[in-house]
Chains A and B, each alone.
Chain A
Amino acid sequence: MLRFFLTKLAGLIPTFFGVTLLTFAMIRLIPGDPIEILAGERGITPERHAALMKQYGFDRPLLEQYVFYIGGVLEGDLGKSLVTKKPVLGEFLQLFPATIELAFCAIVFALVIGLPVGIFAGVNRGRPADHTVMALSLTGFSMPIFWWGLLLIILFSVNLGWTPVSGRLDFAYFIDPITNFMLIDTLLSDEQGAFLDALHHLVLPAIVLGTIPLAVIARMTRSSMLEVLSEDYIRTARAKGLSPLRVVGLHALRNALIPVVTVIGLQVGTLLAGAILTETIFSWPGIGKWLVDSISRRDYPSVQGGVLLVALVIMTVNLIVDLLYGLINPRIRHAR
């Protein structure tokens, strides 16, 4: 198991350098440098432009800039944002918990509904229940996030008044940002009702962000369930006279879950991508919107640092997924 882990870990190193090189190159390939974007219609004199390029070190050869950047990264220094002039890592750590919190709740929502629904559809294959579930999940999968989010806001927040429109917490609560996870911080604080308020604010964004993963998980669970249910050992289990609940819940589900776990792992990417839109709609102070703003302002250090950190997170999640396979299915662990 340790060897398996180490092999997987070593595989990440080239990926890591690949990501640094790609982000470094791509943000510079977009035409327009940060200083011109900043100046806008107002313009800037060539002398002032050159002076600023020098101040930020953008006048040096690209290779030198890259080596300098990598040197910083290896020491844990991602540089300072050109816009806010604050360290990129600090900004990321302040915003990322909001994204994680949202993504976590979204995936929980997707699992809690997606798994049982998928199993249900698989067991009832071909019946109207199955068709309904499949049709709904196709709709969910194709739902444009922006439109879906606004629709829910208009219905639940504006017309019914059940949920807040946007934000993470009512401004009447004054919470110390200790972990930057609002659910944890509100629990730690002594402000009564703050935790429930934070939860209340999470409902709609989690549903919106979780809709696509929910649809994917439901469909994946169903098809993988169908495959497993036709296996010989399931027939044997049934022949032994085990209860249907036991056959499905214990014997079939365990094997049916393997591809589902893969899909959940892959959904992390979808979640982070979807988070950009969801965060914009719900004024959610996470990294999605921050990255988009940074790109449009050509804030090189923020884009490089932000993408690298996100890539690290995705790599870590994939590593965990790989390890989980090993736990669920010993054949994978011992393959090599």
Chain B
Amino acid sequence: MKRTLLSAVAGFALVLGVSAGAHAKTLVYCSEGSPEGFNPGLYTAGTTFDASSRTIFNRLVEFKLGTTEIRPGLAESWDVSDDGLTYTFHLRHGVKFHNKPDFTPSRDFNADDVVFSFERQLKADHPYHGVSSGTYEYFEGMGMPDLLKSIEKVDDYTVRFTLDAPEAPFLADLAMDFASIFSKEQADQYMAAGTPEMLDQNPSGTGPFVLVDYQKDAVIRYNANAEYWEGKAKIDKLVFAITPDASVRYAKLVAGECQIMPYPNPADVKGMQANPALTVQEQQGLNVGYLAFNTEKKPFDNKLVRQALNYAINKQAILDAVFQGAGEAAKNPIPPTMWSYNDAVQDYAYDPEKAKQLLAEAGYPDGFDTDIWAMPVQRPYNPNAQRMAELIQADWAAVGVNAEIVSFEWAEYLDRSKKGEHQTVLLGWTGDNGDPDNFLNQLLGCDAAESGGNRARWCDPAFDDLIIQAKRTSDQAARTDLYEKAQVVFKEEAPWVTVAHSVVFMPMRKEVTGYIMDPLGTHQFYSVDLE
């Protein structure tokens, strides 16, 4: 029924004026995969977010595109109470939800929509909670159920969030995809019709693009939202042509079948840069690839050993062989695009002699036997863990440390390393919300050492005090100071070898203008124009 209506409308539009259609600016994006669905709260994949939260929806606060800073979104402004427990949001007036063939909004966006969008995920007895076998992994993963005490509608344009504990990254959390705002009116309409799951397949948002049609594994179509509160996008239509293979995306880009693509093969980037029809943007990814020492096990409980093995590694050789130009050496656990990155920190230089000396000092003049766990999968922060492990193995052998390379199937790898079965393990992290807490606390805090997310199982009171204090402080300058200090402690104690931050490339045709890369890794087309 929906499709028939749509095609009738499309047919009508065709009859009315083919010339108008020819002038419509259509941007075709060769996307890398299929979205799991169109409710970003139910999923955790970036591919899904590109197709849902970053096109169809808005949030109370948004990341300023190209940065990890927070700016107003559906909330025009907000107040935080002095104890950091109450956040009051003042909502924007006159924001329209999308008109859909089966849904015509009768009112503007208001506080009911905000309360609905959060309570669905928070309250197990909410009528929408179990719809689409609802599991809200990001909401859970960011600790919202423990953090959120209540969400109240104060009046139509004011919403108050009360927290159980002060949490400075909370604002950044609200800019994340899972916090997208749905239309309560549409939800009620689908519930009344007995088809609540339609809300997750055909949602009406407030965002810059209106979802028109999705053909599984093939194509997603959007129209620009003419009533968008920040003004209509410069393009009229947006098409995601789902193209899983990177070489084929490249071919489509060259043939002009799409104008922009993500995730090129690193080996193709040189050719793309040389092609006069294309431009290639690049940016550091919001990620880090690392090798963690299991500090609970001997000899890695000894700081000197950890420092020695840092000195023993030739990082540049790894970057050349494994990243092939698509990576840069990491010295801190957070990437340089993130605020509070401490550029004053000195990395351990490649110095095998110094390494041997430190090992002798630590009581291991003849080295020792250990293992290196290497991931079985390709990740953004580590395109080839096996190769990386081999290079580290050779570097360590040169200072007398014999390491065996170990690998498991991915899920098992994660599980076993979480339990601390490794001696040293290769892994990495991609940021969720641009807040340093998301790296430093989740990967290196004492709580994480207990739950296993901290693969070094490293619990340093000096470091932990700093990051906990920063988490409870809402003043960003004060937080920056604390995080900078924490990074110094981290480097000195050396629970990791910080290996690399990846570089992300975004090839596009010359006619595409105004595309801005997002350090958080999403792909957004609101700012794009075609010449």
| Interface: B28 (CB within 8 A) | yes
The A interface, classified by DSSP as helix, strand, loop or mixed, is loop
Stretch at the interface among B95-103, B216-224, B327-335, B474-482: B216-224
The 8 Å CB contact of B427, one of A41, A154, A157, A161, is: A41
Answer yes or no: B358 CB below 8 A from chain A CBs.
no
A158, A171, A190, A281: which contacts B255 (Cβ < 8 A)? A158
B402 interfacial by beta-carbon distance below 8 Å = no
Q: Which chain A residues numbered 236 to 294 have a C-beta less than 8 Å away from chain B?
A: 280-283, 285-286, 289-290
Is A158 in contact with B412, judged by CB distance below 8 angstroms? Answer: no
Q: Mark B463-490, 1 if CB is under 8 A from A, else 0.
A: 0000000000000000000000000000
Report the stretch among A19-27, A29-37, A125-133, A327-335 that lies at the interface. Answer: A29-37
Docked Cα-Cα span, A153 to B37, in Å, equals: 30
**A100-B265 Cα distance, complex, nearest whole Å:** 31
Closest to A32 in B: B411
Specify which chain A residues have a CB less than 8 angstroms from the CB of B221 in the assembled complex: 171
Contact assessment for B409 and A283 in the assembled complex, using a CB-CB cutoff below 8 Å: no
Q: With an 8 A cutoff between CB atoms, is B368 at the interface?
A: no
* B106 contacts chain A at the CB level, 8 A cutoff: no
Would B241 and A171 count as touching, CB distance under 8 A? yes
Contact with A along B410-438 (1 / 0, CB 8 A): 11101100100000000111100000000
Contacts A38-B44, A43-B418, A176-B3: A281 and B245 contacting too (C-beta < 8 A)?
A: yes
Asked if B324 CB lies within 8 Å of chain A CBs, one says: no
Residues of B within 8 A of A40 (CB): 44, 414
Complex Cα gap A146–B530 (Å)? 33
Q: Is the CB of A166 within 8 A of B411?
A: no
Question: Interface range on chain B: under 10, 10 to 19, 20 to 34, or 35 or more?
Answer: 35 or more
Contacts of A55 in B (CB 8 A): 133, 135
A298→B411 contact, CB < 8 A: yes
A135 within 8 A of B: no
B36 beta carbon closer than 8 Å to chain A? yes
Residues 57-82 (chain A) with a chain B CB within 8 angstroms: 80, 82
A83 touches B (CB below 8 Å): yes
The reply to whether B452 and A43 form a contact with Cβ atoms under 8 Å apart is: yes
Whether, in the assembled complex, B42 has its beta carbon less than 8 Å from a beta carbon of chain A, the answer is yes
Contact status A48-B219, CB under 8 Å:
no
Instruction: Please tell me if A177 contacts chain B, counting CB pairs below 8 Å.
Output: yes
Query: Chain B residues near A31 (CB, 8 Å)?
Result: 408-409, 411-412
Given A43-B453, A283-B248, CB of A176 within 8 Å of CB of B135: no
Within 8 A of A (CB), among B311-340: none
Alpha-carbon gap, A40 to B141, bound state (A): 11
Partner of A48, one of B140, B213, B379, B415: B140
Is the C-beta of B528 less than 8 angstroms from some C-beta in chain A?
Answer: no
Quick one: given A80-B133, A84-B37, are A30 and B409 in contact (CB under 8 Å)? yes
CB of B254 closer than 8 Å to a CB of A: yes
A95-B217 CB under 8 A given contacts A36-B411, A161-B255: yes
Does B215 sit within 8 A of A, measured CB to CB? yes
Residues of chain B within 8 A (CB-CB) of A175 are: 7
B255→A157 contact, CB < 8 A:
yes
Decide: B37 and A168 in contact? CB cutoff 8 A: no
Q: Which residue of A lies closest to B252 (CB)?
A: A165
Known: A42-B44, A55-B135, A190-B11. A165 touches B200 (CB 8 A): no
Indicate whether B112 reaches chain A with its CB closer than 8 angstroms. no
- B137 at the binding interface (Cβ < 8 Å): yes
Chain B residues with Cβ below 8 Å from A82 are: 133
The distance in angstroms between the C-alpha atoms of A82 and B135, with both chains bound, is 10
Residues A32 and B409 in contact, CB atoms below 8 Å apart: yes
Shortest distance from the beta carbon of A73 to any chain B beta carbon, whole Å: 19
Asked if A289 contacts B411 (CB within 8 A), the reply is no
- The answer to whether A94 has its CB under 8 Å from any CB of chain B is yes
Contact A33 B411 (CB under 8 A): yes
Closest 9 CB pairs of A and B: A32-B411, A285-B217, A285-B218, A36-B411, A85-B132, A31-B412, A283-B243, A165-B252, A31-B409
Return 18 A-B CB contacts under 8 Å, by A number: A37-B410, A39-B414, A42-B44, A42-B453, A43-B414, A85-B133, A158-B255, A165-B255, A167-B218, A171-B239, A174-B7, A176-B3, A177-B3, A189-B7, A280-B245, A282-B248, A283-B242, A285-B242
